Amino acid sequence: MAVKGVFTSDAGIVGDRKGDFTSGLLQTMPTGMVQFLALSSGMESADAQDTIVTWFEENHISGRVNVTNDATTGTTFTVDDNTIVVAGQVYLVESTGEYVFVEAVTGSDLTVARGFANTTITTLDGSVTAEPIQRIGTAHEEASSRPVAFRNLGYPRFNYMQIFRQTWDISRTSQEIAYYTGAAKAKSRRDAALFIAEDMERSLLFGKISKGVLNGRVFHTMDGIDSMTLTNIATGPTVTRVEMDDFVESIFDFNVVGKPNERIAFCGNTVLRVINEIVLEQTTAVRYNVEAKETSFGMKVNVWDTPFGSITLMTHPMYNENPIWRTQLNVIHPGAIRTRWLRRVSEDAYDRDGTRAGVDADYGVFTSEMTVELKAEVTSGKYTGMTTAA
């Protein structure tokens, strides 16, 4: 019987003593196509120097603005975003095919030459419904003056470090008893190491940022991938192929500069079933395909081929252990995510064979302090509550 208190005489494993077993211990866990720690073990990582990490990111500057005034056939266009317009640019009026040349910019008003490149001048009215114009390029005369410069200014994002800790402990009595699971001390340490790794993985995905004071000391938690995904979000329960088209297309609308346009998705078995049903129920030309494959290092995955790109689809034990997460899909760009470490996982062990200050037991503490960066958030997405294919 366990001695309740700081230490336990059976190391917290009821019935683990060798005399109580007729066979070795078998541990079960929720099903999944990848190991529990696939997320944290596979992503890029870097050390940090503070309890808050900040990064800058910027979106590609679109060459598209909207004319919002009734320009008729005149030479003044009022636009909704003048930050990307400078003199010397050529624009295409999308609805009419007319080209215009920007001669000057004053606030939100553009002075333009209509019917540029021998195109037809057509009445343009953006006062009720905005009329988009698309930048084609720039054009300048010989020996021209220096054009006006404009910059793509990034915006900051941040996340807090989170401290993770797990303890193992074992009495001297337990260390002397034979176990089918091997050395009781070693198992206790392995369990503690696994628990802290699982805690980090859960927080990497589903953590929520906070900062405050606990027991008179600074306390902070980090945002996970789920909380940092803000742009591409869809909700079930019923999912049609068209709705899936819209979701997947929005994710692949942007890519990280210099990285392959690929995605990794973590989900539960319910999501995998819904996606497979959508594939099987297609009545037109095949648009989606899910194929079981194996990575170069032996990890079993599904490759989900879509009209917009391929997604490596991984069912994860963490999702399958929770009925809500079983119906959720989180998609990330592997080139846009990395962990940051203030302290890597380390063990502070008091392993003295029961001679430490007269205490007839040993223990140790695993500690780490880390956070996660999700950059280029527009390349990520999440679909929640997927239960039925329609």
Same domain? 75 vs 52: no
Same domain? 111 vs 228: no
Same domain? 301 vs 341: yes
Boundary (domain end) residue, out of 106, 138, 170: 138
* Rounded CA separation 129/68 (Å): 7
Query: What was the pLDDT predicted at 133?
Result: 97
Of the candidates 175, 161, 167, which has an alpha carbon nearest to the alpha carbon of residue 347?
Answer: 167
Same domain? 46 vs 92: no
Query: What was the pLDDT predicted at 58?
Result: 77
Same domain? 285 vs 180: yes
Same domain? 44 vs 111: no
Same domain? 335 vs 223: yes
Same domain? 113 vs 254: no
Same domain? 176 vs 271: yes
Boundary (domain end) residue, out of 111, 138, 165: 138
Give, in order, the Cα–Cα distances in Å from 11 to each of 29, 190, 197, 277: 21, 12, 20, 47
- Residue 150 forms part of a structural domain: no
Structure letter (DSSP) for residue 119:
P
This prediction's pTM: 0.76
pLDDT 10s digit of each residue in the chain, 390 long?
333 334 443 444 444 444 444 444 566 677 776 555 555 666 788 999 999 999 888 777 788 999 999 999 999 999 999 888 999 999 999 999 999 999 999 999 999 999 999 999 999 999 999 999 999 999 999 999 998 887 777 788 999 999 999 998 888 787 777 666 567 777 788 888 888 888 998 899 999 999 999 999 999 999 999 999 999 999 999 999 889 989 999 999 999 888 888 898 889 999 989 988 887 776 555 566 666 655 443 445 678 888 888 888 888 888 998 999 999 999 999 888 889 999 998 888 876 655 556 677 788 899 999 999 999 999 999 999 999 998
- Residue 40 forms part of a structural domain: yes
* Burial readout 210-226 (b: 16 or more C-beta within 10 A, e: otherwise): eeeeeeeeeebbbbbbb
Query: Which residues form the domain of 70?
Result: 64-138
Of the candidates 45, 44, 42, which has an alpha carbon nearest to the alpha carbon of residue 301?
Answer: 42
Boundary (domain end) residue, out of 105, 138, 171: 138
Same domain? 83 vs 119: yes
| CA count, 13 A, side-chain hemisphere, 343 | 14
- Residue 222 forms part of a structural domain: yes
- Residue 360 forms part of a structural domain: yes
Query: What was the pLDDT predicted at 130?
Result: 96
Same domain? 298 vs 195: yes
Query: What was the pLDDT predicted at 16?
Result: 45
- Residue 145 forms part of a structural domain: no
Of the candidates 163, 164, 154, which has an alpha carbon nearest to the alpha carbon of residue 375?
Answer: 154
- Residue 112 forms part of a structural domain: yes
- Residue 245 forms part of a structural domain: yes
Domain of 98: which CATH number? 2.40.30
Please report, as a single letter, which amino acid is at residue 25: L
Same domain? 83 vs 192: no
- Residue 6 forms part of a structural domain: no
User: For the chain, how many structural domains are there in total?
Assistant: 2
Query: What was the pLDDT predicted at 371?
Result: 94
Please report, as a single letter, which amino acid is at residue 222: M
Question: E strand or H helix at 364, and its extent?
Answer: strand 361-374
